[in-house]
Amino acid sequence: MPHSLWLKAAGTAAAVTLATATAAHAAPPAQSTAAKNTAAVVTLRYDDSRAGGWEAAITAGVASWNQNVGNVRLIEAAPGTRAEIQIVATSGWPQATLGPVRPGGQVRVELGSQAVSQGHDKTRIAAHEIGHSLGLPDTKPGPCSQLMSGSSAGTSCRNAVPNATERARVNSAYASGSASLTPADGRILVETP
């Protein structure tokens, strides 16, 4: 092999070795902001298999929360799997366990038809009661713009979207990818007119 060809081959081999060694010791690539945010999201499952007649309202209420908060995501539990939020239909007034529920924990939401028969909006009821599960107490009396004002906003209120304060409180409760250190307190909040 001619000397110049040998030097070229040796130089190429050294460059490949250096590149491989540098890559092996280089810092891992920075994670994108979207990937970081996805990793920090707390996923909670809900089971509405015993909430016949409320399916559309539950779907809309869940969508409202998922569209308005970033630190927690609600998904429907697969049949036969455990869910953190148990949603059932009842004949009484709506009520729910006050959270924030943690992954692996469990709270109950009762969607009462008595409120509907008195003229309250089903989607607002579902979103409001889910808000309790996420750690929000009632803010009664309150305006329609406050989801957690519940029935005090009157039967004409159809708002099922949490306001900025409500969104901030839920995002704070589920910050850093986990529920707050305070577990669900177990109190049942009953909606009354």
For the stretch 150-182, pLDDT in tens is 999 999 999 999 999 999 999 999 997 654 444
Angle, helix 55-68 to helix 122-133, in steps of 10 degrees: 50
Query: pLDDT digit string (tens) for 109-165?
Result: 999 999 999 999 999 999 999 999 999 999 999 999 999 999 999 999 999 999 999
Average pLDDT over residues 72-92: 97
Q: How far apart are CA 155 and CA 80, in angstroms?
A: 36
Model confidence band, residue 191 (pLDDT cutoffs 50, 70, 90): low
Kindly report the pTM of this predicted structure: 0.75
pLDDT of residue 178: 59
135, 178 contact by CB (below 8 A): no
Model confidence band, residue 30 (pLDDT cutoffs 50, 70, 90): very low
Residue closest to 111 by CA, chosen among 137, 132, 138: 132
Residues carrying an active site annotation: 129
